[in-house]
Amino acid sequence: MSREAKVGIFVILGLVILMYFTFRVSKWGGVAARGYKLTVDFESAAGLEPKADVKMAGVPVGKVEEIRLVGDRARLDLRIDGKTRIPVDSVASIQTQGLLGEKYVEITPGKRSDQTLPPGGRVANTVPPLNLDEMIRKFSMMSDDIKRFTETLSGTLGTEEGKQALAEIIRNIREASAVLRNVSTANEDRLNRILANVDRLSTDLQDISSVNKEDLRATMANFRAFSQTLKEQTPGLASKLETMGDQVGGVVGENRENIKESIANLKQAFGKLDNTLSAAERVMAKIERGEGTLGKLVNDNTTVGSLNDALEGINRYVRKTESLKTFLDYRLEYLAESSEYKHYVNLRLQPSPDKYYLIGVVDDPRGKLTSQSVTTTTDGVTSRQQQDAYSNKLKISAQVAKRFYGLTLRGGVIESTGGVGADYEVIPEKLTVGIDAFDFARKGNRQPHLKAFGNYDIVKNLFITGGVDDIISKDKNLRSFFFGLGIKFADDDLKTVLGAVPLRP
């Protein structure tokens, strides 16, 4: 082999390896430029690197090609293998391999496998990456709920009313017991005496009975004696009992109101306590049985799942409404020919970047045409003259618009008549030129209304407009230059404005 050939082989081999490296480290990595591109927006792409995997059901189906900031969201360009089809309602999320591993994009396939995303399409549904802060926030929300529940319970038992009732019960019981003690101490002597008398009586009776055993007569005599004694003693005893009764009665009588009140209060307080407890018991029983939201929440595992689903649903709904953009604009046009002003108010609902609906109201100074034939006779010559008069009229516009790159085609109702229009964005988000054609069946055999205009955004919310109105009209005073200016509010501005309005007291 010649020296040159050896060197040639050496260099070619080197270049082959270099090409191999170049291919492997190039932007598309293993997937190369094959496959197709999808985009997806996330609130945060933190931790995600270009060339990270895209997985569907855990199987790598592509790579993240590019990550960039669009507005305030992260837009990812995904390169998907050619043969992988992704249903339109699939959900994309940023996942982590393991707890602290690297991030990748997981696509959870949707149900509508008959409709798949086309190349260049966007995965509309995303799950925001779960972060610790959010988890902590959710937990604190849950603990707030629990706190509120316990607060309700303690509110039933621990209100001022409840506290007062309890305090009253205790006070009344104390008073009552004090009264009872007073009564018993004051009548101690008398009670002792009564007891002594009773004691003596019983001794006598015992004596009588023992004597009775010996002699019936003696018994009889004793009985007589007893009865005699009884006869002698009875009046004293009775009077003693009477006085004691009087005294007790007096004591009770003196404190009757107090006692009565005590008892009533006690009854009331116990009633309240009873109610409270039974109510609490009912609540607890309900929770125990799994009735009610709280009970379900506590007892049923599936409720947690469905709650999660519900939250997710709300999230998705919120996101969908977020993706629906709303623009409101007001425009004032000065028609040079007739020195009149034309006002426009338009509401633009934009569900996706390439489509919007436009609903508007136009205050047209030349909206209404009244034609009048005037017959004048001057010097015997009768001349008929057509006199046209225009008057103010409110008109409505309702259009559907579809966007193809810079070109937007519109159609629908323009100024209360059928019409079509087209806009072209010359400088993105700055200069737009367009043309509207409408009012094809115009009164008085006139030409259709053709309007060419250009809009230039001076700043985000303020734009100037100018152009020619009614270009192909044969009536000179209808064809007119116009210029004007307008303000427009995008979603965020509206949100800010509406957010400032207090919705809740």
Partner 1 sequence: MADERKKNGISLVLEHLGTTAYRMVEELGNVFVLFLQCVTGLVRPPSEFRNIMKQMEEVGIRSLPVVLVTAMFTGMVLALQSWSGFQRFQATHFVGSVVALSITRELGPVFAGLMVSGRVGAAMAAELGTMKVTEQIDALVTLATNPVKYLVLPRVIAATAVLPVLVIFADFVGILGGYFVAVYLLGANPYLYVNKTYQYLTFTDIYTGLIKAAVFGFLIALISCYNGFNAEGGAQGVGRATTRAVVASSMAVLVSDYFMTSFMF
Residues near partner 1 (CB under 8 A) are 3-4, 6-7, 10-11, 13-15, 17-18, 20-22, 24-26, 29-30, 49, 51
Q: Give me the least distance between CB of 22 and partner 1, in Å please.
A: 6
Q: Give me the least distance between CB of 162 and partner 1, in Å please.
A: 58
Q: Give me the least distance between CB of 302 and partner 1, in Å please.
A: 37
Contact 95, 49 (CB under 8 A): no
Contact 197, 237 (CB under 8 A): yes
Contact 66, 100 (CB under 8 A): no
Q: Give me the least distance between CB of 25 and partner 1, in Å please.
A: 5
State how far the Cα of 128 lies from the Cα of 94, in Å rounded to an integer. Answer: 7
Give me the helix-helix angle, 160-186 and 256-289, nearest 10°.
140
CB neighbourhood size of 350 (10 A): 19
Nearer Cβ to partner 1 (21/149): 21
Q: Give me the least distance between CB of 79 and partner 1, in Å please.
A: 14
Q: Where are the beta strands (DSSP E) in 21-139?
A: 36-42, 53-56, 59-70, 73-80, 91-96, 103-108, 122-123, 125-127
Please report which helix (H) or strand (E) contains residue 192, including its range.
Answer: helix 188-214
Nearer Cβ to partner 1 (49/322): 49
Nearer Cβ to partner 1 (15/284): 15
Which of 386, 390, 384 is closest to 370 using CA atoms? Answer: 390
Q: Give me the least distance between CB of 31 and partner 1, in Å please.
A: 12
Question: What burial class does residue 353 get, using C-beta atoms within 10 Å of its C-beta: 0-12 exposed, 13-18 middle, 19+ buried?
Answer: exposed
Q: Give me the least distance between CB of 7 and partner 1, in Å please.
A: 5
Nearer Cβ to partner 1 (99/501): 99
State how far the Cα of 501 lies from the Cα of 505, in Å rounded to an integer. Answer: 11
Q: Give me the least distance between CB of 104 and partner 1, in Å please.
A: 11
Nearer Cβ to partner 1 (47/245): 47
State how far the Cα of 433 lies from the Cα of 348, in Å rounded to an integer. Answer: 18
Nearer Cβ to partner 1 (27/200): 27
Question: What burial class does residue 359 get, using C-beta atoms within 10 Å of its C-beta: 0-12 exposed, 13-18 middle, 19+ buried?
Answer: middle
Q: Give me the least distance between CB of 13 and partner 1, in Å please.
A: 8
Nearer Cβ to partner 1 (4/257): 4
> Could you please report the per-residue DSSP string of 120-151?
T-EE-EEEPPP-HHHHHHHHHHHHHHHHHHHH
Nearer Cβ to partner 1 (26/206): 26
Per DSSP, helices labelled H in 290-398 are 292-299, 301-323
Nearer Cβ to partner 1 (11/314): 11
Nearer Cβ to partner 1 (10/270): 10
DSSP state of 208: H
CB neighbourhood size of 357 (10 A): 15
Nearer Cβ to partner 1 (29/109): 29
Produce one character per residue of 194-216: b if its CB has 16 or more CB atoms within 10 Å, e if not. Answer: eeeeeeeeeebeeebeebeeeee
Q: Give me the least distance between CB of 46 and partner 1, in Å please.
A: 18
Contact 79, 37 (CB under 8 A): yes
Q: Give me the least distance between CB of 83 and partner 1, in Å please.
A: 20
275: amino acid identity, one letter: N
Nearer Cβ to partner 1 (54/335): 54
The β-bridge relationship of strands 103-108 and 53-56 is parallel
Q: Give me the least distance between CB of 29 and partner 1, in Å please.
A: 6
First to last CA, the chain: 94
